[in-house]
Amino acid sequence: MDRMAAMETFVAVVEAGSFSAAARRLALGQPAVSKSVAQLEEHLGARLLLRSTRGLTPTDAGQRFYEHARRAIEEADHADQAVHESSAGLSGRLRISAAVTFSRLHVLPALKVFLDRHPNLELDVILDDRSIDLLEEGVDVALRMGSLDDSSMIARRISQSRRLVVGTPDYFAQVGVPGTPAELSRHQAIVYSLRGGGESWAFSQNSTEVAVVVSGRVRVSAAEGMRTAVLGHLGLAIASEWMFSPELADGTVRAVLTDWTLPPVDLWAVFPAGRMPTSKARAFVAFVEEVLGGATAVAAAPGPASEAQLAD
């Protein structure tokens, strides 16, 4: 039995919560994962996992072994990285998760520069507007927008964008330009239904704050749908400046009510809980910050694990 491989398999099972999820993460067959854990239990002479219809949970002995095994794996990984990076730079595979539209507009066009800097690095880019399970999917780093609900995550807020009320000149020519937030009730709004969207918005101007509820005949569950609906003159939208930056620059889309302020959108780098971010993941996050150099980078906020946990 390869003890390190068995430890890695056991840690993956605990973190993924099932043999099948761990098998997908490790690119192994489920029987091989089950056999590895069984051999480890036999070697240690202790039951490590409790199996039930609700899934797998570690025993007391299993939890203690998991904590020690995870630290040992991290130390081994750091030792490998130190040697590789000192001799050949970053190498291997980096799995990234990010929202579809943000990646298409701001990340994917710049990736050649990142890959040219690190010729021995390969990327898996998972594009999804939803928040996927990083451990189950084997993701090294995710780019997420808005508020983070899980305080156990290791995260760093890396940039920020304004929210704007946007629409096409054709749409505003047909129905008029709103002069105040209250006038938005007379407009068709393209409502984004995922986290960070919705119908209720708080506008502020100096010491004045106005709460507005927008409505419309079209709701979308993906940012690409919002962009397409706005560009199709179906209505206006409240969206991050990132989402329409090319069209705002060339005049295809116009921002209105710019003398009012909406809550900004935060961009977070999120790492799997329970393990230190890899050098590859940290290098990618630094690159994204560089790409978004025109946006305002801000310090880590309280709640999710802070930037101090990401130090080398």
pLDDT digits (tens, 9 = 90+) for 260-288: 999 998 999 999 876 778 889 999 999 99
Element (H, E) at 160: strand 154-161
- Pick the closest to residue 164 from 130, 201, 218, 128 (CA basis): 201
Q: Is the pLDDT at 87 greater than 80, yes or no?
A: no
- Whether 276 and 311 have beta carbons less than 8 Å apart is answered as no
pLDDT digits (tens, 9 = 90+) for 92-109: 889 999 999 999 999 999
- DSSP β-ladder status, 208-213 and 200-205: antiparallel
Q: Which region, left, alpha or beta, applies to residue 196 given φ > 0 means left and ψ of -120 to 50 means alpha?
A: left
- pLDDT of 149 reads 67
Instruction: Tell me, rounded to whole angstroms, the distance of Cα 30 from its chain centroid.
Output: 28
pTM over 0.85: no
CATH number (1.10.10.10, 3.30.70.1230, 3.40.50.720, 2.60.40.1120) of 3-84 reads 1.10.10.10
CATH topology agreement for domains 89-161+265-310 and 163-256: yes
The mean of the pLDDT values for the chain is 84
Average pLDDT of span 19-30: 88
- pLDDT of 196 reads 64
Separation CA 256–CA 161 (nearest Å): 16
Separation CA 10–CA 15 (nearest Å): 9
Q: What are phi and psi of 162, to 5 degrees?
A: -70, 150
pLDDT digits (tens, 9 = 90+) for 35-65: 999 999 889 999 999 877 667 888 999 898 9
- pLDDT of 96 reads 94
- pLDDT of 136 reads 79
Q: Is the pLDDT at 195 greater than 50, yes or no?
A: yes
Side-chain half-sphere CA neighbours of 75 within 13 A: 7
Q: Is the pLDDT at 303 greater than 60, yes or no?
A: no
- pLDDT of 165 reads 96
Give the Å distances, CA to CA, from 235 to 63, 181, 246: 54, 15, 18
| Residue with more model confidence, 190 or 298 | 190
Element (H, E) at 30: helix 30-44
Q: Is the pLDDT at 295 greater than 90, yes or no?
A: no
- Whether 163 and 203 have beta carbons less than 8 Å apart is answered as no
pLDDT digits (tens, 9 = 90+) for 152-172: 668 888 899 999 999 999 999
Give me the architecture of the 89-161+265-310 domain, per CATH. 3-Layer(aba) Sandwich (3.40)
Protein fold of 163-256:
D-Maltodextrin-Binding Protein; domain 2 (3.40.190)
Q: 52 is written with which tokens?
A: 């039930």
**Band of residue 19 on the pLDDT scale cut at 50, 70, 90:** confident
Domain locations along the chain: 3-84, 89-161+265-310, 163-256
